C-alpha cells in the first residue's frame, strides 16, 4: 500500500505532510512512497526534520490515489487532512478548499 | 468567590515564567519533544488531532465575569474565536500555537487562572455541584472544602507522580449533581446526630474502560478531618496502586482487586498513624478564612413570588418554557438559579464563542453578582438571579440564541470532542449529538419524552460519561468504519448506575434511528408520563429494549 509521512508543525501545531520541497499542509502535494526504498528515504528526512525541531511525531499513513488527489485509507487520517467535520470553516479544509 | 493570596499568586507567576522558559528552550531546540512533552502536559498543553489544545482549569467550575471576559479575549486573540466547556467543568482551546501559549498563561494569571492540574498523573482540578452555595436542597456550601483541597493538592510534592490521574468530586447536597460516585474520591456531605457537617467518603468510582460505582469507606467523616483522611487514601493508593499497567492503575482497580474492606482497613491504619491535631486545626482555620470569600452576596429581601414575573409567565409561553426547564430553585426567597444551555438545536455541545462568553459575563455582572458556573453537563449557570430579573435575562439570552429551554431533555446531550478534535478518539461524537438534537428539535416532543439524559463518548476513555447516561452512546471503530454502541439505564446521581449494553453497534447512519427506536419503546410502554425513562428501564430491564430494537433493525 502506498504511504505518505505526516506530522504536526512544532511552532503552530498544524498538520503537515512531507513533500518534495519540505512540509506542506496540502496532502495532495505529499510525496507518495510506492516502494520500500522511497519510504525509508522519506522516513529518514522526517526524522531529520524532527531532530531539527521543525515537526513533532512524524509517522507513515497508508493512502490511495484518486485521480490527482491523495486520500488516506483510514477515516481518522482523512480528518487530519481536512479539519473538524463539524467546523468546515476551520482547519486545512477552510484554507485549502479541500472537499 | 475565592481570591488568590500571595502564595497562590506567586506560584502561578513562577509556573508561568518557568513554562515560558521551557517553551523558548523547546523552540530553540534545547529540549527534545520527549523532554518537553511531560512539561507541556503539566501545564495543560496537549497535541491533538489538528493542533495543540490547551485545557484551562476552572476551579470547581466557578468563574467571575472578569475571568469569563479574559477567556473570551484569549479565544479571540490566540485561538479561533471560541472555547469548549468540558465535562470536567474546564475550558479547552482547540487551536493555540505553541509560541503563544506563554502569553495565554500570562493572560490567565492576570485573572487568577492557570492550566495546572488539567493533565498528568496528579490530583486534577476538583469538581463540584454547579449549584454549590445556592441550591435549595444543600446542607452546606461545599466550595470552601473544594478550595481547601485545591490549595492542598496544587503541586503537592508527594502526589505529583501518582500511578495515574486522580479526580475528586464534592457535593454538599443530597441530590448529587456532581456525579461523585464515579470519581476516584467522591465526597457527599451529611450532618451527624449533633448536626455537624461531614462527608461520606466514596472511593474507587470511575468510568473509562472499566466503569465502576465507588464504594463508601466512611459513612461520616468530620469535615475538619478531611485533609488528613484524603491524605491517607492518597498514600495507600500511591503505595499499592499499580504502575506496571496504565489500564489497571486507577484507584478503582486497586479497590476492586483487594476488596473495599481491605482497602478501607489500609486507609484507616494509615490515618491512625499520625496525630492529626495540628493539621486539623490548620485546616479548620484555613476553611474559616476561605469561607469568608464564599460569604453570600448582598441578597435583597425579596418576596418569594414576584407579580410581574408571574404575569410574564402567564403571557409568554416561550419564557414560561425556559423557566420551567432551565431555572432551578434558589435557597434564598425571591432568587433563582438560571441555566444557560450550550446545546442549541444542531449545535456543538459545550462550545461558546467569544461574543457569547462576553455576553454571559455582562449578564452575570448585571443580574448575578458577577458570578458564573460551569456545569459538568457542559452548560453555564448564573447562580444568583433575582426572580424578578429572569424576564430581562431571558430576553437578552433569547436575542443571542442562548435561551434553548432544554435542560435535562433529550437534546441536552453531553458529548466529548470525539474524533473531530481528539487524538485518542476512535469515532466522532459531535455529529451524532447534532443529528440527535436535530431529530428531536421539536420541544413539545422533548417535553413529552421528559427526563432523558444522552451522553456520547468517542472512545472507551469515556470523557463523554456515556456509562452513566440514561442512554449512552460509545463510538468505536469496527472494520475500518465508525460504529456506535448503545447502553441503557446508567445514572450519575446519588443512585449511580453503570449502563447496560443493549447489543451490537450501529453504523453512523443508523444510530439516530436506533436512539429514536429506544425512545419509542419507552413511550409505548411507560405507565404514563410520570414514569420517567429511567424508572421504565428499571422496571422492564435491558432485555425488553434489546428485543424491540433488534427485532425492527
State the ipTM, two decimals.
0.96
pLDDT band at B552 (very low <50, low <70, confident <90, very high): low
Q: Do B260 and B355 lie in a common domain?
A: no
Q: How far is A14 from chain B (nearest CA, A)?
A: 5
Nearest-by-Cβ selection for A13 from B33, B97, B480: B97
A53 and chain B in contact, CB less than 8 A = yes
Mark yes or no for CB contact A11/B97 under 8 Å.
yes
Same domain, B94 and B212: no
- Confidence grade of residue B295 (pLDDT, cut at 50, 70, 90): very high
A11, A73, A86 member nearest B27 (Cβ): A11
Q: Are residues B443 and B546 in the same domain?
A: yes
Nearest CA in chain B to A92: B50
The DSSP call for residue A31 is P
Contacts of B438 (CB under 8 A, 6+ apart): B345, B346
Mean predicted confidence (pLDDT) in B363-373: 98
Residue B35 lies in a domain: yes
- Whether residue B279 is contained in a domain is answered as yes
Host domain of residue B82: 6-110
Note whether residue B50 is domain-resident.
yes
* pLDDT tens, position by position, B385-403: 999 999 999 999 999 999 9
Q: Under an 8 A CB cutoff, do B95 and A83 touch?
A: no
Q: Which of A42, A40, A1, A2 is nearest to A22 (CA)?
A: A42
Q: How far apart are CA B176 and CA B425, in angstroms?
A: 29
Select from A8, A58, A71, A85 the residue whose CB has the most chain B CBs within 10 Å, as the one to mutate to test that interface. Answer: A8
Residues B136 and B190 in one domain: yes
Phi, psi of A26 (to 5 degrees): -95, 110
Q: What is the pLDDT of residue B243?
A: 95
- Over 80: is that where the pLDDT of B271 sits? yes
The count of residues in chain B is 553
Closest C-alpha among B504, B542, B505 to residue B522 = B542
Query: Is B120 part of any domain?
Result: no
**pLDDT of A66:** 96
pLDDT for B277? 79
- pLDDT < 70 positions in chain A: 97-99
CA distance B461 to chain A (A): 17
Angstrom distance (rounded) from CA B505 to CA B511: 8
Distance between CA atoms of A80 and A14, rounded to whole angstroms? 9
Please name every residue paired with B55 in a beta bridge, in sequence order, or none if there are none. B92
Whether residue B405 lies inside any domain: the answer is no
Size of interface A-B (CB pairs under 8 A): 69
- pLDDT above 60 for B553: no
Shortest distance, CA B177 to any CA of chain A (angstroms): 29
- Let me know whether B284 and B144 are in one domain: yes
Element (H, E) at A15: strand A15-19
Sign of the four-CA dihedral B115, A93, A49, A42: positive
Q: What is the mean pLDDT of chain B?
A: 96
For every residue of B500-545, DSSP letters joined together read EE-SS-EETTTHHHHHHHHHHHHHHH-SSTTS-HHHHHHHH-HHHH
Q: Mind listing the pLDDT tens digit for each residue in B130-145?
A: 999 999 999 999 999 9
Inter-residue contact B173 to B135 (CB < 8 Å): yes
Q: What is the CATH number of the domain that holds B38?
A: 3.90.480.20
* B431 contacts A85? CB cut-off 8 A: yes
Q: B220 Cβ partners below 8 Å, 6+ apart?
A: B190, B192, B198, B199, B200
pLDDT of residue B1: 84
Is the same domain home to B224 and B92?
A: no
Q: Which residues in chain A have their CB less than 8 angstroms from residue B80's CB?
A: 90
Distance of CA A33 to the CA centre of its chain: 12
Are B137 and B248 part of one and the same domain? yes
- Please indicate, yes or no, if residue B522 is contained in any of the structural domains: yes
Of B365, B534, B372, B538, residue with least CA distance to B449: B534
Q: Determine whether the interchain pair A80/B47 forms a contact, defined as Cβ–Cβ distance below 8 Å.
A: no
Domain boundary among B293, B327, B342: B293
Q: Measured between alpha carbons, how far is B342 from A8 in angstroms, rounded to an integer?
A: 31
Domain at B211, CATH number? 3.30.413.10
pLDDT of residue A99: 45
Closest CA of chain B from A11, distance in Å: 5
Question: What does the pLDDT read at residue B392?
Answer: 98
CB contact under 8 A, B430 and A86: yes
Same domain, B92 and B132: no
pLDDT at position B281: 82
> Mean pLDDT lowest for which of B109-113, B136-140, B197-201, B283-287?
B283-287
Neighbours of B267 (CB within 10 A): 23
Among B293, B321, B346, give the residue marking a domain's end: B293
Q: Where are the domains of chain A?
A: 3-94
* Total-model pTM: 0.97
Q: How confident is the model at residue B284 (pLDDT cuts 50, 70, 90)?
A: confident
CB contact under 8 A, B420 and A10: no
Residue B379 DSSP SS3: coil
Q: Is residue B301 part of a domain?
A: no
Alpha-carbon distance A65 to nearest alpha carbon in chain B (angstroms): 18
Q: How many domains does chain B have?
A: 4
> Is residue B151 domain-shared with residue B102, that is, in the same domain?
no
Q: Given this model, what pLDDT does residue B51 score?
A: 97
Q: Tell whether B99 and B131 lie within a shared domain.
A: no
Is A33 within 8 Å of A19 (Cβ atoms)? Answer: no
For residue A14, the chain B residues in CB contact (below 8 A) are 50-51
Question: In this structure, are B340 and B432 located in the same domain?
Answer: no
Is the residue at B236 inside a domain? yes
Give the pLDDT mean for B285-303: 93
Q: Give the three-state DSSP class for B389.
A: helix
Residues B283 and B427 in one domain: no
- Residues B432-443 have a mean pLDDT of 98
**Which residues of B fall within a CB distance of 8 Å from A90?**
80, 95
Amino acid at each position: 500500500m502506498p504511504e505518505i509521512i505526516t506530522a504536526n508543525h512544532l511552532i503552530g501545531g498544524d498538520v503537515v505532510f512531507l513533500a518534495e520541497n519540505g512540509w506542506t499542509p496540502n496532502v495532495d502535494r505529499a510525496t507518495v512512497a510506492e516502494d520500500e526504498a522511497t519510504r525509508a528515504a522519506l522516513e529518514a528526512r522526517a526524522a531529520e526534520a524532527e531532530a531539527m525541531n521543525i515537526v513533532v511525531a512524524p509517522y507513515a499513513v497508508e493512502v490511495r490515489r484518486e485521480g490527482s488527489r491523495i486520500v488516506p485509507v483510514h477515516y481518522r487520517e482523512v480528518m487530519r487532512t481536512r479539519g473538524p467535520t463539524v467546523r468546515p470553516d476551520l482547519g486545512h479544509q477552510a484554507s485549502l478548499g479541500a472537499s | 468567590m475565592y481570591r488568590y493570596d500571595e502564595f497562590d499568586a506567586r506560584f502561578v507567576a513562577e509556573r508561568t515564567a518557568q513554562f515560558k522558559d521551557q517553551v523558548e528552550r523547546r523552540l530553540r531546540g534545547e529540549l527534545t519533544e520527549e523532554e518537553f512533552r511531560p512539561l507541556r502536559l503539566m501545564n495543560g498543553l496537549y497535541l491533538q488531532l489538528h493542533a495543540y489544545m490547551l485545557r484551562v482549569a476552572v476551579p470547581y467550575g466557578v468563574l467571575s465575569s472578569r475571568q469569563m471576559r479574559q477567556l473570551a479575549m484569549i479565544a479571540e486573540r490566540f485561538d479561533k474565536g471560541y472555547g469548549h466547556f468540558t465535562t470536567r467543568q474546564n475550558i479547552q482551546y482547540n487551536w493555540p500555537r505553541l509560541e503563544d501559549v506563554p502569553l495565554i498563561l500570562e493572560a490567565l494569571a492576570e485573572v487568577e487562572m492557570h492550566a495546572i492540574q488539567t493533565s498528568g498523573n496528579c490530583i486534577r482540578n476538583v469538581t463540584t455541584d454547579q449549584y454549590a452555595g445556592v441550591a435549595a436542597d444543600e446542607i452546606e456550601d461545599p466550595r470552601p472544602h473544594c478550595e481547601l483541597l485545591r490549595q492542598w493538592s496544587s503541586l503537592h510534592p508527594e502526589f505529583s507522580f501518582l500511578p495515574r490521574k486522580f479526580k475528586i468530586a464534592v457535593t454538599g447536597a443530597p441530590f448529587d449533581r456532581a456525579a461523585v460516585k464515579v470519581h476516584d474520591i467522591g465526597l457527599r456531605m451529611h450532618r451527624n446526630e449533633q448536626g455537624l457537617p461531614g462527608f461520606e467518603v466514596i472511593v474507587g468510582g470511575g468510568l473509562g474502560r472499566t466503569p465502576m460505582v465507588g464504594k463508601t469507606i466512611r459513612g461520616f467523616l468530620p469535615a475538619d478531618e478531611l485533609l488528613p483522611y484524603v491524605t491517607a487514601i492518597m498514600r495507600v493508593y500511591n503505595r499499592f496502586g499499580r504502575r506496571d499497567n496504565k489500564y489497571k492503575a486507577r484507584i478503582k482497580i486497586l479497590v476492586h482487586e483487594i476488596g473495599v474492606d481491605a482497602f478501607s482497613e489500609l486507609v484507616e491504619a494509615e490515618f491512625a498513624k499520625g496525630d492529626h491535631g495540628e493539621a486539623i486545626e490548620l485546616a479548620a482555620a484555613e476553611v474559616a478564612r476561605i469561607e469568608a470569600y464564599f460569604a453570600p452576596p448582598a441578597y435583597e429581601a425579596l418576596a418569594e413570588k414576584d407579580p410581574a414575573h408571574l404575569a410574564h409567565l402567564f403571557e409568554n409561553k416561550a419564557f414560561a418554557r425556559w423557566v420551567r426547564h432551565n431555572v432551578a430553585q434558589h435557597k434564598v426567597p425571591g432568587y433563582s438559579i438560571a441555566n444557560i444551555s450550550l446545546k442549541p438545536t444542531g449545535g456543538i455541545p459545550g462550545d461558546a464563542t467569544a461574543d457569547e462568553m462576553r455576553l454571559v459575563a455582562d449578564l452575570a455582572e448585571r443580574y448575578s453578582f458577577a458570578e458564573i458556573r460551569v456545569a459538568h453537563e457542559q452548560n453555564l449557570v448564573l447562580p444568583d438571579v433575582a426572580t424578578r430579573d429572569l424576564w430581562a435575562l431571558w430576553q437578552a439570552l433569547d436575542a443571542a440564541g442562548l435561551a434553548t429551554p432544554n435542560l435535562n431533555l433529550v437534546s441536552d446531550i453531553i458529548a466529548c470532542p470525539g474524533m473531530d478534535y481528539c487524538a485518542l478518539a476512535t469515532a466522532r461524537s459531535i455529529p451524532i449529538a447534532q443529528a440527535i438534537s436535530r431529530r428531536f428539535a421539536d420541544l413539545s416532543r422533548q417535553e413529552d419524552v421528559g427526563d432523558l439524559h444522552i451522553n456520547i463518548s468517542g472512545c472507551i476513555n469515556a470523557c463523554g460519561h456515556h456509562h452513566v447516561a440514561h442512554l449512552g452512546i460509545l463510538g468505536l471503530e469496527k472494520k475500518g468504519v465508525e460504529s456506535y454502541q448503545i447502553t441503557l439505564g446508567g445514572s450519575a446521581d446519588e443512585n449511580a448506575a453503570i449502563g447496560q449494553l443493549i447489543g451490537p453497534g450501529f453504523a453512523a447512519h443508523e444510530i439516530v434511528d436506533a436512539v429514536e427506536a429506544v425512545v419509542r419503546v419507552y413511550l409505548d410502554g411507560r405507565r404514563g408520563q410520570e414514569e420517567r425513562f429511567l424508572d421504565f428501564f428499571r422496571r422492564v430491564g435491558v432485555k425488553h429494549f434489546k428485543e424491540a430494537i433488534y427485532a425492527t433493525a
